[in-house]
A and B are shown apart, each in its own frame.
Chain A
Amino acid sequence: DTGVSQDPRHKITKRGQNVTFRCDPISEHNRLYWYRQTLGQGPEFLTYFQNEAQLEKSRLLSDRFSAERPKGSFSTLEIQRTEQGDSAMYLCASSPNQGTGNTIYFGEGSWLTVV
């Protein structure tokens, strides 16, 4: 079990550029989550997938954000036309089962700095 892995760990981009983050969940985990965390705050839910289906999106996820999980395994989170307010750590997490009450396991995050 290699844990949740995220790539890249750090990304510096100019305002207006597009960025993409990749997440590989723990093998055979059905659920995959994306969270955003800014300095001094707790993680904020963005979206989650049950296998390849995107089941919920937060209001935080503007139309510049898109997430995919095409084969129910890895996922990508793309931010188009980045803004300085997008600077944050983007956390991916996965959990093994359907339903509620499952532990979610986090990756180490992808830091985004928009200059």
Chain B
Amino acid sequence: AQSVTQPDIHITVSEGASLELRCNYSYGATPYLFWYVQSPGQGLQLLLKYFSGDTLVQGIKGFEAEFKRSQSSFNLRKPSVHWSDAAEYFCAVEPYGQNFVFGPGTRLSVLP
């Protein structure tokens, strides 16, 4: 079945530590790939997106993501987490000719 999975429901990291949030998709062809962030009670803000080309994508707020076709993954990374990064993170895909599909989200907590 076609799907987007984010295996980690909740991750806690210490401020200054590195971060990796996982995203896997299951579609026949590589869809367009996105990461969004949502602060409590707010809408979603785009962090970065991958359409084609370089598989390492840079985004806002120091985030980057790497597309790995062989693993059907699009993991989000940040070398040093700040307390303000605490939020919910959603991976999303846009299969060709279809609408966006969002993963269930990963909630990030940051310890001081």
Residue ranges of A at the interface with B (Cβ–Cβ < 8 Å): 4, 33, 40-45, 48, 56, 91, 93, 100-101, 103-109, 111
Contacts and interface: CB of A to CB of B under 8 A. Distances in A.
B49 to A, nearest CB: 6
Nearest to A9: B41
Q: Is chain A's binding surface mostly helix, strand, loop or mixed?
A: loop
A42 B43 contact: no
Contacts of B41: 109, 111
Contacts of A42: 90, 92, 102-105
Residue among B100, B103, B105 facing the most chain A CB atoms (10 A cut-off): B100
Interface of B: 32, 34, 36, 41-46, 49, 51, 90, 92, 94, 96-97, 99-105
A65 to B, nearest CB: 16
B32 A108 contact: no
B43 A48 contact: no
Contact of B34 (A44, A103, A108): A103
A109 B99 contact: no
A48 B41 CA distance: 23
Contacts of B49: 103
Contact of B43 (A41, A56, A108): A108
26 contacts: A33-B99, A40-B104, A40-B105, A41-B104, A41-B105, A42-B102, A42-B105, A43-B100, A43-B102, A44-B102, A48-B99, A56-B99, A91-B44, A93-B44, A100-B96, A100-B97, A103-B34, A103-B46, A103-B49, A104-B100, A105-B46, A106-B43, A106-B44, A107-B43, A109-B41, A111-B41
B32 A100 contact: yes
A111 B99 CA distance: 23
Residue among A4, A42, A43, A105 facing the most chain B CB atoms (10 A cut-off):
A42
Contacts of A111: 41
Contacts of A43: 44, 90, 100, 102
B45 A106 contact: yes
A106 B90 CA distance: 13
Given A41-B105, A101-B32, 10 more contacts: A40-B105, A42-B104, A42-B105, A43-B90, A44-B102, A93-B44, A100-B94, A100-B96, A101-B51, A105-B46
